[in-house]
Amino acid sequence: MRILGVDPGLTRCGVGVIDVDSRRQPRFVAVHVLRTPAESALAERLVSLEEQMQKLFDLYQPTDVALERVFSQHNVRTAMGTAQASAVALMTACKRGLEVHSYTPTEVKAAVTGTGRADKAQITTMVTRLLNLESAPKPADAADALALALCHAWKGAGKSRLAAHMAFPTSAQSVLASSS
């Protein structure tokens, strides 16, 4: 399974890619931080973000997409940019027939560090260790994107997909049941 994790942002959008084997062991593939210039018009920034994201989807061919769920922030302007970047990721995945799985920051922190109250430094440290990286992914958006991919691998749909891949085909199950 190849998971593309997206930490949405209009100025900086983290995109992390991992592969996960049948034992749920993750392997680092790539990490990117997509950027759009703050001085550009909103429509131009969204188009640029979509074009960059399309290239990454084409390059990495993910089977799963994990996206940080937009939550209420004190800064409305920041929340709007995050929501708009999320929409671009959703649209890009949808065009390819991929379902997007959303996780709250607390879910991601808990999955990667064991506590939902972890700070950015703790997340970066754990992502670096879990993926056996030589150096920490920077900026924090990069580490967060990889953390989202890891969260999906170990929770919810990622876990279900891996279980389905490991299950016997239905015909094998019926043969085994009839031979008892």
Residues with catalytic annotation? 7, 68, 141
Domain 2-178 sits in CATH at: 3.30.420.10
The 3-state DSSP class for residue 50 equals helix
pTM comes to 0.85
Domain locations in the chain as residue ranges? 2-178
* pLDDT tens, residue by residue, 127-149: 999 999 999 999 999 999 999 99
Interatomic CA distance for residues 127 and 62, integer angstroms: 19
* pLDDT tens, residue by residue, 31-71: 999 999 999 999 999 999 999 999 999 999 999 999 999 76
Identify the residue whose tokens are 């993910």: 62
Q: In what order do the strands lie in the sheet with 100-103?
A: 26-35, 12-20, 2-7, 64-68, 100-103
pLDDT at 79: 78
